Amino acid sequence: MPLVAGISFRRVGKVYYFDPGELNIQEGDFVIAETARGVEFGEVMMSPRDVPEDQLVAPLKKIIRVATGEDLERAAANRENEKSAFEVCLQKITDHNLPMKLLEAEYSFDGTMVTFSFSAEGRVDFRELVKDLSSALKTRVQLHQIGVRDEAKLIGGYGTCGRELCCSCFLSSFEPVSMKMAKDQSLFLNPAKFSGVCGKLMCCLRYEHDFYREAREYLPAVGALVPTERGTGKVVDINVVSSMLTVELEDGVTLIIPSSEIEFDGCCRRHGVGCQMKESNCRLIKHHDDVESRVS
């Protein structure tokens, strides 16, 4: 397996694999690497290790060197230049009366190009703006329109949980999030209740989705008939995390029972006891001593 190191070129940015060659680098080191955009300054997020070839995108580019003191000074100077370039761009946007929200200015490591990221409700014709900026900044200019998730990542903030936004503090990439994940977690299906500051479904719905999906294989579905010490009852609610079932008996009495106290041998997950297992959605509940152990 090839030896690679993981490099990120921006705060909480995507991690890319590079060939470390003979360099002795560790996580947290700053390096200069060859990229598709040219030579760039980045941070080692993953120390060199063997990675299967099917996880790599060929050809694998090399890390040129460990960053020197001069490289660090240039990177710091670029950060300062970005502040002034941002102000210039803001003024030019106002002058051109463009419906766009400027979010970030980023200089390439060699200072020959500056990229401005912005958000807008629709497409924006910024051709004249690019010409004006190139003349004012004396360098190549690129404008990049980004979506609402990337906007939240750049700006930062706090979620309804009271913690810093996941996307701005540790998520290096966005994974798909769907309403089905909310449904699988028994959440009230009102998107306003679990939408993030970006207006999209919260990324944290993704974190526990696999647990909920797997844990349900060891539990009956709502509506299934299950045996209890007081007779057969219908499952009317499930707490997947605590593995507790709310069961309604034939006499109207409702019980809250740990799933570990119910014998599920031969029970259909969809219909419960007595099912002949003839329908396509019928399958037996998997054996499991205690679903709670899966949480820990």
What is d(CA 28, CA 125) in angstroms, rounded to the nearest whole number? 40
Residue type, 168: S
Q: Please list the pLDDT of the chain residue by residue as tens digits (296 residues).
A: 889 999 999 888 888 999 998 899 999 999 999 888 889 999 999 999 998 888 887 788 899 999 999 999 999 999 999 999 999 999 999 999 999 999 999 999 999 999 999 999 989 999 999 999 999 999 999 999 999 999 999 888 998 889 999 988 888 888 889 888 888 887 777 777 888 889 899 998 888 888 888 888 888 888 899 999 888 999 998 888 888 999 999 888 999 999 888 888 888 988 888 888 888 888 888 865 544 444 44
In the three-class reduction of DSSP (H, G, I as helix; E, B as strand; rest coil), residue 183 is classed as helix
Burial of 152 (0-12, 13-18, 19+ CB in 10 A): buried
Q: State the residue for tokens 């609402």.
A: 148
What is d(CA 27, CA 272) in angstroms, rounded to the nearest whole number? 52
Q: State the residue for tokens 């034939």.
A: 250
- What does the domain layout of the chain look like in residue ranges? 3-67, 73-146, 152-207, 215-295
How distant, in Å, are the alpha carbons of 139, 158, 165, 168, 196 from that of 162?
A: 42, 6, 9, 14, 12
Q: Which CATH architecture has domain 215-295?
A: Roll (2.30)
Burial of 102 (0-12, 13-18, 19+ CB in 10 A): middle
Residue type, 172: S
pTM for this one? 0.73
Please provide the DSSP assignment of 112-158 as one string: SEEEEEEE-SS----HHHHHHHHHHHTSEEEEEE--HHHHHHHH--B
Topology of domain 73-146 in CATH is GMP Synthetase; Chain A, domain 3 (3.30.300)
